[in-house]
């Protein structure tokens, strides 16, 4: 079964604008501002992916709460940085868990190797010093 790819270019500008409830000219302006980077066909036609449409909707949410385009740019940049940091944190968490398993395995190996050298002593066993006999028969 094919995996859904939300970055695959599917929509021409008119369809993307309709899906995002925006005018096509708005999409062109966002592209000029660098807020959006649609892919281009061989004939240089803008092609938008589902991820692009989702981004347009996010831009619209941010402008509706009163952010200007400079603010929107900053928010999108920070959201992108947060997503990258989350991915890095997940990778590091996986590495940490793997290292912890390896460390526990190594500790068990060391413990098993030392068990042959250890002699258990019961708590009820008393150690009594034995006196030595003197030389010379006494």
CATH label of the domain that carries residue 4 = 1.10.1660.10
The answer on 46 and 9 residing in a single domain is yes
Instruction: Give me the pLDDT at residue 3, please.
Output: 56
The answer on 42 and 4 residing in a single domain is yes
Mean pLDDT of 17-30: 97
What residue numbers bound the domain in which 24 lies? 1-66
pLDDT tens, position by position, 87-96: 999 999 999 9
Q: Which of 20-24, 74-78, 131-135 is the least confident region? A: 131-135
The answer on 84 and 58 residing in a single domain is no
pTM equals 0.68
The answer on 75 and 51 residing in a single domain is no
The answer on 48 and 23 residing in a single domain is yes
Q: Please report, to the nearest 10 degrees, the dihedral formed by the alpha carbons of residues 114, 117, 118, 119 taken in order.
A: 160
Q: How many CB atoms are located within 10 Å of the residue 54 CB? A: 13
The answer on 52 and 8 residing in a single domain is yes
């Amino acid at each position: 079964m094919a995996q859904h790819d939300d970055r695959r270019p599917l929509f021409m500008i008119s369809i993307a604008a309709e899906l995002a409830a925006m005018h096509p000219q708005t999409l062109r302006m966002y592209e000029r501002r660098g807020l959006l980077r649609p892919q281009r066909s061989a004939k240089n036609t803008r092609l938008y992916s589902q991820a692009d449409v989702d981004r347009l909707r996010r831009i619209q949410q941010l402008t509706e709460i009163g952010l200007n385009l400079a603010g929107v740019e900053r928010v999108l940049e920070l959201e992108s940085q947060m997503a990258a940091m989350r991915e890095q944190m997940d990778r590091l968490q996986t590495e940490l868990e793997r290292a912890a398993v390896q460390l526990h395995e190594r500790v068990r190996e060391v413990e098993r190797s030392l068990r042959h050298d250890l002699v258990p002593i019961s708590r009820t066993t008393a150690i009594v010093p034995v006196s030595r006999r003197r030389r010379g028969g006494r």
